[in-house]
Amino acid sequence: MNLELIKFYRNILKYFYQRIYYIFLLFNIKSLKSDDHKLIVSLTSQPSRINTCWISILSIFNQDFINFKIILVLSKLEFPLQKIPWTLKILQKKGLVILWIKENYKSYNKLIPVRLKFPLSKVVTFDDDVIYERWRLKILYKKSTIEPLAIIGFRGKKLKRDINKIIAPYLSWNEEALIETDSLETLLTGVGGILYPPNNEFDDLITNYNLAKYLAPTADDIFFWGVSFYLNIKRINLIRYLNNLFN
């Protein structure tokens, strides 16, 4: 048996082992307990990923942290019958909240509707195709108690400027932002999770979807960075990385 075939069978076994483990966890995970709306985890999904997003959500349920809500934002335009998989129905019984919206803000779905509904909450945005380590939420929240006005994430780029100090095109930014990178030079990107504190000026601008669609129709991270840059809101990159992407 050649090495490629061995690797193939190992990956198959790993896949089924993971699915069995997650299904076991699905039925045994504890229900969420939240006495208020101080901290909300928000994510969105689409038809192509609705059958697998439960694994990401399950990893959020499994966080080493208590007293938070999880909201999954779904657009009625993408799910006209409002049908969801049985896995999400089980998670609903354990505390998952599904927020149905009439509009479809695309990638902006994970923040705009939740911010409009909960203007006083800290909102953490996560992705629907990542398995999150148990420490993610705890570290974000702990840092936010030290820096209550800052936007905090785990992944980011350092701004690149030309010789005239003008910001270069985004695709040329090839340097990662570090924890010591100046806030003005930091653009936080998703995947690892980003915490947005309530901020009236910031929230008024980022919930203006017409403005977002005009300036950055498919790049919510860049739009949120632009608004925070304009308002001089501090951005902190905690530089923790993920390898748990799945399709």
Q: How far apart are CA 30 and CA 110, in angstroms?
A: 24
Could you tell me the maximum CA-CA distance found in the chain, to the nearest angstrom?
Answer: 63
Cα 186 to its chain centre, rounded Å, is 18
Residue 4 lies in a domain: no
Residue 113 lies in a domain: yes
Q: For position 187, which CATH number holds?
A: 3.90.550.10
Residue 69 lies in a domain: yes
Domain ranges, residue 88: 39-237
Considering its fold, how many domains does the chain have in total? 1
Q: How many residues does the chain have?
A: 247
Between 245 and 236, residue with greater pLDDT: 236
Question: What are the structure tokens assigned to 33, written together?
Answer: 């307990």
| pLDDT for the residue numbered 80 | 97
Residue 242 lies in a domain: no
Residue 3 lies in a domain: no
Residue 103 lies in a domain: yes
- Backbone phi, then psi, for 161, in 5-degree steps? -120, 150
pTM: 0.89
Residue 89 lies in a domain: yes
User: Tens digits of per-residue pLDDT, 30-88?
Assistant: 899 877 889 999 999 999 999 999 999 999 999 999 899 999 999 999 999 999 999 99
Query: Which residues, in sequence order, are CB contacts of 148 under 8 Å at separation 6+?
Result: 197
Q: Where are the alpha helices (DSSP H) in the chain?
A: 3-28, 53-61, 86-93, 112-117, 136-146, 200-206, 209-215, 220-230
Q: Which of 98, 53, 46, 93 is nearest to 72 (CA)?
A: 98
| pLDDT for the residue numbered 199 | 98
Query: Which residues, in sequence order, are CB contacts of 77 under 8 Å at separation 6+?
Result: 102, 103, 104
Q: Is the pLDDT assigned to residue 232 strictly greater than 90?
A: yes
Q: Is the pLDDT assigned to residue 242 strictly greater than 70?
A: no
What mean pLDDT do residues 185-201 have? Answer: 93
Residue 112 lies in a domain: yes
